[in-house]
Amino acid sequence: MKQAELIATKLQLVDVDITVDEVAELITDRAEEFSIDTEMATPLIEKELIAKYDLDLNVYENTTATEVPYAYIEDLDSPDEFVQVVAIVDDLWEEYDDRIQQVGTLADSTDRIKFTVWNVADQPLLEKGTVYHIWNAVVKEHNGKLELKITAKSDIEQLTGENYDVSEYVGTDHESTPFSGVVTRIEPGSGLVERCSVDDCTRVLKNGHCSEHGNVEGEDDLRIKAIVDNGSEYRRVTMTTEVVETLLGYRLQDALSHPDIDVDEEIHQCLVGQYADCMLVEYEHNNYVSSIELNADPDGHGIIELYDYADELRYIL
């Protein structure tokens, strides 16, 4: 009996020692007693159990969240499904609709997804770079793409770094790997680019032309393709909008509305010849930069060890 299972699970979560069978038996007994079907008997039993164990209704109701499946973002594929996710607020966008409280992207270790919080949801403001456990968010499809809607029914708990390794959520993949080296080259096709506006096609246009869809309207974007080289190996890397915006310190919209900004020159000054410590995610033979730190201070202990080793070597040779 599915209802019995749900109630038992919820009660167990608030530390009530009860089994599914016990709940099922109570429901069946009550149904027989009042000559009603089990579906009608279920809420009665639920209320009785809440009273019997003197449960705080708010606490008990919040456990409904556990009914919805925990999902990784990359697995979200069913519109109108309620889910729970643990994710970092990866980006917050400027909201153009007065009815929207917040819009941006959430990321977990598998992927990113757009999220929206409407004003009517009456939810607290989410902070960029913070990890949240969100229950009862609903998956919606908009223009063929999935997004996550946080509603009045959703519950949000902020997780602190003590409980969770925040950095785990900054990447877009479990498989992200570190790579450090010097940025030796910015490749053509970096800076302000136009992408194909046809649904699900994000190809960069060349003179307004998409290799797949021909002449189309372009959507502005910022990206960097570069080579990071450590002297023995190199990676050809791609930085997408969010990473480029963080590096340059301004948004795509700002770059577009200020034609005097020389984006290419700023990319050069910011990256070329600098040491970059990157986290890379390999996807379809491209190395995407999920995070980047420039010119990090070298490790002091390592330097002393290096000096001692050079000293030793000098005498051996």
Interface residues toward other proteins, by CB under 8 A: 182, 184-185, 187, 227, 229-234, 236, 268-269, 272-275, 295, 297-298, 302-303, 306-307, 309-311, 313-314, 316-317
Least gap, CB of 287 to other proteins (angstroms)? 12
Give CA–CA dist 239/222, Å, rounded: 9
Least gap, CB of 310 to other proteins (angstroms)? 4
Q: Which is nearer to other proteins, 133 or 268 (CB)?
A: 268
Least gap, CB of 219 to other proteins (angstroms)? 25
Q: Which is nearer to other proteins, 74 or 229 (CB)?
A: 229
Least gap, CB of 96 to other proteins (angstroms)? 37
Q: Report in angstroms the alpha-carbon separations of 276 from 105, 184, 244, 272, 302.
A: 25, 10, 13, 10, 18
Q: Which is nearer to other proteins, 78 or 180 (CB)?
A: 180
Q: Which two three-digit tokens encode residue 268?
A: 């050069």
Give CA–CA dist 83/66, Å, rounded: 9
Give CA–CA dist 106/90, Å, rounded: 5
Give CA–CA dist 263/10, Å, rounded: 55
**C-beta of residue 60 within 8 angstroms of C-beta of residue 14:** yes
Q: Which amino acid is at 301?
A: H
Q: Which is nearer to other proteins, 256 or 303 (CB)?
A: 303
Least gap, CB of 176 to other proteins (angstroms)? 20
Q: How many helices (H) and strands (E) does the chain have?
A: 9, 14
Residue position matching structure tokens 């069946």: 28
Q: Which is nearer to other proteins, 211 or 215 (CB)?
A: 211
